[in-house]
């Protein structure tokens, strides 16, 4: 093991060594911050920092495809999506301290110890008697990184790849089921929404966007002044104005009313 570390250190250039000793503590600190952070947003940011450091490590090891996939897919897309959802919905939420399953903490500790022992034994068996092999085809230029990854993914690791894809699909469906909240009053279908929209006295025109104080977003609906009179600048020369109802034409003492 010591001989292998010395060989790797000798083959590494000065730039790789400098970048490694700069980014390795940052990656390790981000991983520790992910576990120790009390806020889910801080934990997501720490994980994003660790992923960025891993991407630089991939690029340093002549694997630019993996490095840019790590940046664009995992860090740029997936992690930022998680962070957006956490900041949008879970910023003020607090974790419940009530345990729904008895003994889950003890069970989690035992599973963690077993997983650590399994990984340590596998790693020790893998590195014992390790020898440096010849450069693979992708390192010598006979095969590109993408071809090498595709060959390994769809030949040697085909079964684990399919298992992981199935687990991720089940996890996504389970997350949707847990996040679904039934609304009060039951589910209303398209028929109920249509009847509500075309009810007597209700104008079925397009509704305005959020933050706009108006009864409709149609070009035929004129804007009203605070005294209830029609603003001439809001009238179209090509579309005839719609006749307002008594409720719409009533004076409204609200600033910023616009059609």
pLDDT of 75 over the 90 cut: no
Better-scored residue on pLDDT, 231 or 26:
26
Q: What are 92's two structure tokens?
A: 């003020």
Is-contact 249 206, C-beta < 8 A? no
Mean pLDDT along residues 54-60: 88
At 110, the pLDDT band (50, 70, 90 cuts) reads very high
At 5, the pLDDT band (50, 70, 90 cuts) reads very low
Whether this prediction's pTM lies above 0.85 is answered by no
Q: What are 157's two structure tokens?
A: 């690791």
- Portion of the chain with pLDDT greater than 70, in percent: 68
- Portion of the chain with pLDDT greater than 90, in percent: 4
Average pLDDT, the chain: 75
Better-scored residue on pLDDT, 13 or 109:
109
């Amino acid at each position: 093991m010591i001989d292998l570390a010395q060989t790797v250190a000798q083959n590494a250039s000065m730039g790789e060594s400098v970048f490694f000793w700069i980014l390795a503590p940052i990656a390790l600190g981000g991983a520790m911050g992910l576990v120790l952070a009390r806020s889910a947003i801080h934990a997501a940011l720490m994980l994003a920092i660790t992923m960025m450091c891993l991407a630089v490590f991939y690029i340093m090891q002549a694997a630019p495809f993996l490095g840019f996939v790590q940046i664009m897919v995992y860090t740029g897309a997936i992690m930022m999506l998680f962070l957006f959802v956490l900041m949008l919905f879970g910023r003020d939420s607090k974790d419940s301290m009530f345990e729904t399953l008895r003994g889950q903490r003890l069970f989690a500790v035992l599973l963690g110890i077993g997983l650590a022992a399994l990984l340590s034994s596998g790693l020790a068996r893998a590195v014992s008697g390790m020898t440096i092999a010849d450069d693979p085809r992708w390192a010598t230029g006979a095969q590109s990184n993408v071809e090498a990854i595709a060959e390994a993914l769809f030949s040697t690791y085909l079964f684990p790849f399919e298992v992981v894809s199935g687990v991720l699909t089940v996890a996504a469906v389970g997350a949707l089921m847990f996040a679904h909240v039934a609304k009060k009053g039951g589910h209303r279908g398209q028929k109920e929404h249509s009847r509500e929209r075309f009810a007597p006295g209700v104008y079925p025109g397009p509704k305005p966007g959020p933050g706009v104080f108006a009864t409709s977003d149609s070009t035929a609906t004129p804007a009203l002044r605070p005294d209830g009179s029609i603003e001439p600048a809001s009238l179209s020369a090509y579309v005839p104005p719609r006749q307002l109802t008594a409720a719409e034409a009533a004076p409204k003492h609200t600033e910023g009313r616009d059609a």
